[in-house]
Amino acid sequence: MVDPWSGKQRAEGFRQERSSRSSLFAIEQHAETIALQGNRNPSGDEAEMSDTETKLVEELVTANRILANEDIIDIFGHISVRSARNPQEFLLSCSRSPAAVTAADIMRYRLDCSIITQTSEKQYVERVIHGAIFQARPEVQAVCHTHSEGILPFACTGEQIRPVIHVGTMFWEGVGWFEKYDEGGNMLVASVTEGKALAESLGSGKAALLKSHGCVVAGNNLRETLMEAIYLDRNARVQLEAMRLGKPFYIDREVARRGASVFEKAFVQDRAWGYWLARLPKGWETATGVSPADGSKLEAAAR
């Protein structure tokens, strides 16, 4: 199959499509295009799978907008999701601030971070964070890298983030610590060596701090990972405030492990997703190419 949309033509095509009334059609076209780029001989299941990839693209765009709206990522930072069609590939925006990400920005990568999508867009330098963690952790389905203000005091001091509130129990296994930047590097996690070292710092846990830089969280699905990014920040803020008053009641590891189980449930993740979705500014679907119908359904799930 020959890809009829490539490079500039594709970008232009999406600009035109975004302005048309059929934004859902545009996102489906794009998802199908990127779904097929890694597999030129679609099987009989391709239609169903490409529908799954379409939803993933939609959710990834939505997650970007939520992270921006909740002040977790402003200009820098990113979230990715492993492909449902091929676990050896993942989806991530091109180099774009999350508040501006649209369906047309979602690119497909191999786990070594080489790009599959044909594009002239710039790529995130720190995409190795995602590829390295997806390689090291086959069960991980989504990865998010932020420099959110709540976690930064801990990244700047080495003070541990520990569960102090229920939503913080998601991190009952502890928060890893990364500082092995390349000598002579620029404090970005940009090389394969740095990516691997970061994945090692994460271990089997859900989060790691990057010294004087930010954090990374990894989860079993996109919605869980979004919750982790938001609630690692929330727990850190509350912990810091509590430390100003006295010694916080740190939640015991075993109690935290049990407390965390509720956040693994799909209906809880859907409810949280629906809440953050409902807080997005009016008209965000039109701007991103995400289906309003699906948005309404998810809002209903929040109630």
- Closer CB to Zn ion, residue 163 or residue 214? 214
Instruction: Check if 126 is active-site.
Output: yes
SS3 199: helix
Q: Of 53-61, 212-220, 236-244, 253-261, which segment contacts Zn ion by CB under 5 A? A: 212-220
Q: At its nearest, how many Å lie between Zn ion and the CB of residue 116? A: 23
- Closer CB to Zn ion, residue 192 or residue 243? 192
Q: Cβ distance 192 to 213 under 8 Å? A: no
DSSP letters, 151-194, are: THHHHHH-PPP---SGGGGGGTT-EEEE--PPTTS-SS--SHHH
- Applying the rule CB under 5 A, the residues between 214 and 253 that interact with Zn ion are 214
What distance in Å separates the CA atoms of residue 42 and residue 205, rounded to the nearest whole number?
36
Amino acid at 157: T
Three-point CA angle 12, 14, 18, nearest 5°? 125
Q: Of 52-60, 99-107, 206-214, 233-241, which segment contacts Zn ion by CB under 5 A? A: 206-214
Q: At its nearest, how many Å lie between Zn ion and the CB of residue 147? A: 6
CA terminus-to-terminus distance, the chain: 44
- Closer CB to Zn ion, residue 103 or residue 209? 209
Catalytic residue among 17, 126, 224, 228: 126
Beta strands 207-210 and 175-178: pairing type?
parallel
What is the four-CA torsion angle of 169, 170, 173, 179, rounded to 10 degrees?
-110
- Closer CB to Zn ion, residue 207 or residue 260? 207
Q: Of 50-58, 96-104, 166-174, 207-215, which segment contacts Zn ion by CB under 5 A? A: 207-215
SS3 217: strand
- Closer CB to Zn ion, residue 134 or residue 172? 134
Instruction: Indicate the length of the chain as a whole number.
Output: 303
Q: Of 7-15, 17-25, 209-217, 290-298, which segment contacts Zn ion by CB under 5 A? A: 209-217
Judged by CB under 5 A, the number of residues near Zn ion is 1
Q: At its nearest, how many Å lie between Zn ion and the CB of residue 154? A: 15
CA 54 and chain centroid, separation: 16
* Residue 131 neighbours by CB distance under 10 Å: 23
Q: At its nearest, how many Å lie between Zn ion and the CB of residue 146? A: 8
- Closer CB to Zn ion, residue 56 or residue 73? 73
The three state secondary structure string of 104-160 is HHEEEEECCCCECCCCCCCCCHHHHHHHHHHHHCCCCCEEEEECCCCCHHHHHHCCC
Q: At its nearest, how many Å lie between Zn ion and the CB of residue 74? A: 12
Provide the mask over 60-99, with x wherever binding to Zn ion is found by CB under 5 A and - wherever it is not.
Answer: ----------------------------------------
Provide the mask over 133-172, with x wherever binding to Zn ion is found by CB under 5 A and - wherever it is not.
Answer: ----------------------------------------
Q: At its nearest, how many Å lie between Zn ion and the CB of residue 48? A: 36
Give contact residues for Zn ion (rule: CB under 5 A): 214
Give catalytic residues, as residue numbers: 126
